[in-house]
Amino acid sequence: MNPIRMAAVGTVTIALILYTIGTLKEQRGHRASAGVLGFLSAGLAFDVVATALMIAATGGIAPTVHGWLGYSALALMATDVALIWRHWRASGDAPIPAGRHLYARLAYLYWVVAYFAGAALVMAAKHARS
């Protein structure tokens, strides 16, 4: 595997860990705490870097199923982070509304599906070359 792709895989895995911690904190606490904001924002930053690295590793923005799945998952998580920050700015530590809380869970689950679909595609490509 080329070094850029390896960096992308490591970076997106860090994003997964950060998103997971932030989402679990939000789902359990029902609040936009500093920890939730920090973990989700850091997860988003790592996801953006990972996406840029994946684009660099493949030589461009290819209209593949995995590419669109990844871009849409990134967009959902970016929306989730924007919404949690908007809630925090407007309401501080007030409980997160049920609809917003559900969106966070669904966006995270979609992102995890995209993560594992990407891992499966990498493994399939690796075995095809063997």
All structural domains of the chain, each given as residue ranges with its CATH number in brackets, are 3-129 (1.20.120)
| Amino acid (1-letter code) at residue 31 | R
Spatial contact of 22 and 45, defined as CB atoms under 8 Å apart: no
Q: Is the pTM of this model over 0.85?
A: yes
Sole residue written with tokens 């996801």: 47
Cα gap 60→26, rounded to integer Å: 35
- pLDDT tens-digit profile, the chain (130 residues): 689 988 999 999 999 999 999 999 999 999 999 999 999 999 999 999 999 998 898 877 767 777 888 899 999 999 999 999 999 999 998 999 999 999 999 999 999 999 998 888 777 766 676 6
State which amino acid sits at residue 92: G
